[in-house]
Amino acid sequence: MGAATEAPMSAADAAKAAYELRKAKAIERANRPHITDQPITMKNWWRHLNLLNIYLIVIIPILGLWAAWYTPLHKYTLIWAVLYYFNTGMGITAGYHRLWAHTSYSATWPLKLYLALVGGGAVEGSIRWWSRDHRAHHRYTDTDKDPYSVRKGLLYSHIGWMVMKQNPKRIGRTDISDLNEDAIVVWQHKYYLWVVAFMGLVFPSAVAGLLWNDWKGGFVYAGILRIFFVQQATFCVNSLAHWLGEQPFDDRNSPRDHVITALVTLGEGYHNFHHEFPSDYRNAIEWHQYDPTKWCIWTWKQLGLAYDLKEFRSNEIEKGRVQQLQKKIDRKRATLDWGVPLENLPVMEFEEFQAECEKGRALTLIAGVVHDVTDFIKDHPGGKAMIKSGIGKDATAIFNGGVYLHSNAAHNLLSNFRVAVVRGGCEVEIWKQSAKENKDAVPAVD
Binding site for ligand HEM (CB under 6 A): 135, 138-139, 174, 278, 364, 371, 373, 376, 380-382, 386-387, 389-390, 395, 398-399, 403-404, 406-407, 409-410, 413-414
Residues 139-198 that bind a second copy (CB under 8 A): 139, 175, 177-178
The residues, ordered by sequence, that sit 6+ positions from 381 with a Cβ below 8 Å of its Cβ are none
Query: What is the dihedral sign for C-alpha 386, 390, 391, 396?
Result: negative
398 binds, among ligand HEM, a second copy, none (CB under 5 to 8 A by kind): ligand HEM
CB contact at 8 A, 354 and 392 = yes
395 binds, among ligand HEM, a second copy, none (CB under 5 to 8 A by kind): ligand HEM
Residue 322 touching a second copy (CB under 8 A): yes
Residues 366-385 that bind a second copy (CB under 8 A): 379, 381-383, 385
CB contact at 8 A, 112 and 305 = no
Least distance from ligand HEM to the Cβ atom of residue 381, Å = 4
Least distance from a second copy to the Cβ atom of residue 165, Å = 27
Among residues 89, 93, 111, the alpha carbon closest in space to that of 102 is found at 93
Among residues 121, 129, 71, the alpha carbon closest in space to that of 92 is found at 121
Residue 310 touching a second copy (CB under 8 A): yes
Which residues lie across from 422 on neighbouring strands?
348
Least distance from a second copy to the Cβ atom of residue 30, Å = 24
The residues, ordered by sequence, that sit 6+ positions from 193 with a Cβ below 8 Å of its Cβ are none
Which residues lie across from 348 on neighbouring strands?
422
CA distance 78 to 258: 28
Residue 278 touching a second copy (CB under 8 A): yes
Least distance from a second copy to the Cβ atom of residue 413, Å = 6
- Closer residue to a second copy, CB minimum distance, 123 or 398: 398
Residues 390-409 that bind a second copy (CB under 8 A): 404, 407-409
Which residues lie across from 378 on neighbouring strands?
none
Among 38, 180, 326, 374, binds a second copy (CB under 8 A): 326
- Output DSSP code: residue 202: I
Residue 320 touching a second copy (CB under 8 A): yes
The mark string for 220-259 relative to a second copy (x by CB under 8 A, - otherwise) is: -----------------------------xx-x-------
Residue 315 touching a second copy (CB under 8 A): yes
- Closer residue to a second copy, CB minimum distance, 257 or 356: 257
Least distance from a second copy to the Cβ atom of residue 126, Å = 20
φ, ψ for residue 333, nearest 5 deg? -60, -40
Among residues 60, 32, 63, 36, the alpha carbon closest in space to that of 49 is found at 36
Among residues 87, 105, 88, 83, the alpha carbon closest in space to that of 283 is found at 105
- Closer residue to a second copy, CB minimum distance, 4 or 385: 385
| Single-letter code of the amino acid located at 314 | S
Least distance from ligand HEM to the Cβ atom of residue 386, Å = 4
371 binds, among ligand HEM, a second copy, none (CB under 5 to 8 A by kind): ligand HEM
- Closer residue to ligand HEM, CB minimum distance, 55 or 404: 404
Among residues 238, 237, 234, 254, the alpha carbon closest in space to that of 246 is found at 254
DSSP of 38-82:
SPP-TTTGGGGB-HHHHIIIIIHHHHHHHHHHTS---HHHHHHHH
3 state DSSP class of 270: strand
Q: Which residues of this chain interact with a second copy, rule CB under 8 A?
A: 102-103, 139, 175, 177-178, 249-250, 252, 275-279, 310, 312, 315-320, 322-326, 329, 332-333, 336-338, 379, 381-383, 385-386, 404, 407-409, 412-413, 416
